[in-house]
Structure 1
Amino acid sequence: MNDIVQVRQVKKNKYKYIYEELADKMKDGTFQPGELIPSENELAQQYETSRETIRKALTLLSQNGYIQKLRGKGSVVLDTNRASFPISGLVSFKELADQMKGSIKTEVEEFNLIKPPPFLQHQLQCSAKDDVWKVIRTRTFDEERVILDKDFLLKKYIPDLTEEICGQSIYAHIEHDLGLTISFAKKEIVVETCTEEDKRYLDLNGFLHVVVVKNYVYLDDASLFQYTESRHRLDKFRFVDFARRHMK
Structure 2
Amino acid sequence: MATTNKYLNIFQELSKDIENGVYESNTLLPSEHELCERFSTSRETIRKALTLLSQNGFIQKMQGKGSLVLDVSKMTFPVSGLVSFKELQESLGRDIKTDVHKLELNEAPEQLASQLECDEGALVWEIVRARTIQGERVILDKDWLLQSQVPSLTEEICSDSIYAYLENHLGLNISYAKKEITVESATEEDRVLLDLEGYSHIVLVKNFVHLEDTTIFQYTESRHRLDKFKFVDFARRRK
The verdict on a shared fold, with TM-score over 0.5 as the criterion, is: yes
The answer as to 2:159 corresponding to 1:170 is: no
Name the SS of the counterpart of 1:179 in structure 2: coil
* Residue type at the aligned position of 1:144: E
* Residue type at the aligned position of 2:144: F
**Pairing of 1:135-174 with structure 2 (within 5 A):** 135-174=127-166
The answer as to 2:186 corresponding to 1:194 is: yes
Q: Which runs of 5+ in 2 are unaligned?
A: 1-22, 28-70
TM-score, normalised to structure 1, is 0.68
Q: Distance in 1 between matches of 2:229 and 2:24?
A: 20
1:227 alignment partner in structure 2:
219
Displacement after TM superposition at 1:180 (Å): 1.1
Name the SS of the counterpart of 1:97 in structure 2: helix
1:109 alignment partner in structure 2:
101
2:46 alignment partner in structure 1:
none
The answer as to 2:125 corresponding to 1:133 is: yes
Displacement after TM superposition at 1:232 (Å): 0.1
Q: Distance in 2 between matches of 1:139 and 1:27?
A: 29
Displacement after TM superposition at 1:103 (Å): 1.5
1:18-60 deviation digits (Å, cap 9, x = unpaired):
xxxxxx97545xxxxxxxxxxxxxxxxxxxxxxxxxxxxxxxx
Name the SS of the counterpart of 1:107 in structure 2: strand
Displacement after TM superposition at 1:101 (Å): 3.3
Q: Distance in 2 between matches of 1:224 and 1:192?
A: 25
Q: Distance in 1 between matches of 2:119 and 2:154?
A: 23
Displacement after TM superposition at 1:239 (Å): 0.4
Name the SS of the counterpart of 1:147 in structure 2: strand
Q: Which runs of 5+ in 1 are unaligned?
A: 1-23, 29-78
Displacement after TM superposition at 1:125 (Å): 1.3
1:132-173 deviation digits (Å, cap 9, x = unpaired):
000000000111100000000000001121111001000001
1:245 alignment partner in structure 2:
237
Displacement after TM superposition at 1:82 (Å): 2.2
Q: Distance in 2 between matches of 1:119 and 1:246?
A: 37
Name the SS of the counterpart of 1:235 in structure 2: helix
1:153-200 deviation digits (Å, cap 9, x = unpaired):
000001121111001000001110011100110000000000111111
1:17 alignment partner in structure 2:
none
Q: Distance in 1 between matches of 2:211 and 2:202?
A: 29
Q: Distance in 1 between matches of 2:204 and 2:156?
A: 25
Q: Distance in 2 between matches of 1:102 and 1:209?
A: 25
Percent identical among aligned pairs is 56
1:208 is matched with which residue: 181, 200, 218? Answer: 200
The answer as to 2:78 corresponding to 1:86 is: yes
* Residue type at the aligned position of 1:88: S
* Residue type at the aligned position of 1:135: I
Higher gyration radius (CA) = 1
Displacement after TM superposition at 1:99 (Å): 1.2
Displacement after TM superposition at 1:122 (Å): 1.4
Q: Distance in 2 between matches of 1:155 and 1:94?
A: 22
8 A Cα contact 1:27 1:80, kept in partner: no
Q: Distance in 1 between matches of 2:127 and 2:83?
A: 17
Q: Distance in 1 between matches of 2:220 and 2:230?
A: 18
